[in-house]
Amino acid sequence: MSPAMVVSAGEIRRDDSSLENSYNYQKGVKHMCENGIKHVPRKYIFPAADRPNVATEKTPISGHSLKLPVIDFAQLQGPNRSQVLESLAYACENYGFFQLVNHGIPEEIINNMVNVSKMFFEMPFSEREKYMSSDMYSPVRYGTSFNQTNDGVFCWRDFLKLICSPLPDVLPYWPSSPPQFRESAVSYAKETKSLFEMVVEAILESLGLNNIEKKTDVENEEAASLLNELEQDGSQLMVVNCYPPCPQPDLTLGMPPHSDYGFLTLLLQDDVEGLQILHRDHWLAVHPVPGSFVVNVGDHLEIFSNGRYKSVLHRVLVNTMKYRISVASLHSLPFTSTVRPAAKLITDTNPRRYKDTDFASFLDYIKTCDSTKKNFIESRKLN
């Protein structure tokens, strides 16, 4: 057992008196770290069963990692497309995640996004707090934890959320500091949007719903309609995550177990490990691969595929030494749209498995559920 796990009730009580009253948790973890925090406040201590405690896991975390399927995006555009589509289907069915390489986004755009993200969180709190908001629909929102207005237990994470569509309408609200932020974030948002559209077209084809050689086939109409909605009016949310070093990382989490609302998430990581996914009942680390995206199936895609592709629980661990920065680009249907299983994927042997779902039902869920359990997809299953 890690020394950080040995925390007595007395230590927690001392923590209450010295820290609970002196820090405003709504200001975020970075603000606490800047003020020299030495222990994890009780507000951030997860129940014992939910902590990253190796003694309670089926397999130890340390040294155990998962090699995700690798999808070579360049190969999707060539003569090997059919084989890559098979690999894509296998990854979405069995892992819910894959590493996307050779994606074509210039290295400069990626590096600039990581750099301005770091620079944003390095600004004084007086600058960051200008973007604080509890409005889920705000074009820009700086905050902490998962849902800080409702979370009973906070997680060790600050974030900057940027709504990216329609870009001309929301851009004036985005941070103007650091000076390069808007330019870099716009370039990155456009590139990831374009990449998402090409990847989702391949995913629909892997489901047998979008045969590129039969564009006029009646069976492709549902997929064509979905693609058009995603491309013309689809929602894009960019979330820049900051996970500061934590004095007792075995007591808390950077993000609790959750699945992603939406169709697909494209995650850009720095070189600091932290992401874990639940695979065959074990929490396994996903090592950062330079130049790649970690792509995961969202709740909307699991619903649309009628359960064939899986939206998998994942979480984030923190460490004692290093800041971790990640940029998640979440893509889905417009916030006003309803997603349901594709008619072609509902059969006698595979009946409909999910309720109709919209953004309002998601907001209702996160307002009422416990902060340590964020599995929205389970609430949408029939029977």
CA distances from 115 to 84, 184, 214, 266, 330 (A): 33, 9, 43, 18, 20
pLDDT of residue 367: 66
pLDDT (mean) for 222-234: 86
Quick: pLDDT tens for 338-349. 899 999 999 999
Q: Are strands 293-297 and 97-101 parallel, antiparallel or unpaired?
A: antiparallel
Quick: pLDDT tens for 29-50. 998 888 888 899 999 999 988 8
Q: For residue 366, what pLDDT band results from cuts at 50, 70 and 90?
A: low
Residue 67 CA to residue 79 CA, distance in Å, equals 26
pLDDT value at 23 more than 90: no
Quick: pLDDT tens for 293-330. 999 999 999 999 999 999 999 999 999 999 999 999 99
User: What are the counts of helices (DSSP H) followed by strands (DSSP E) for the chain?
Assistant: 11, 12
Burial class (CB in 10 A: 0-12, 13-18, 19+), 363: middle
Quick: pLDDT tens for 350-363. 999 999 988 778 77
pLDDT (mean) for 94-122: 96
Q: For residue 62, what pLDDT band results from cuts at 50, 70 and 90?
A: very low
Burial class (CB in 10 A: 0-12, 13-18, 19+), 93: middle
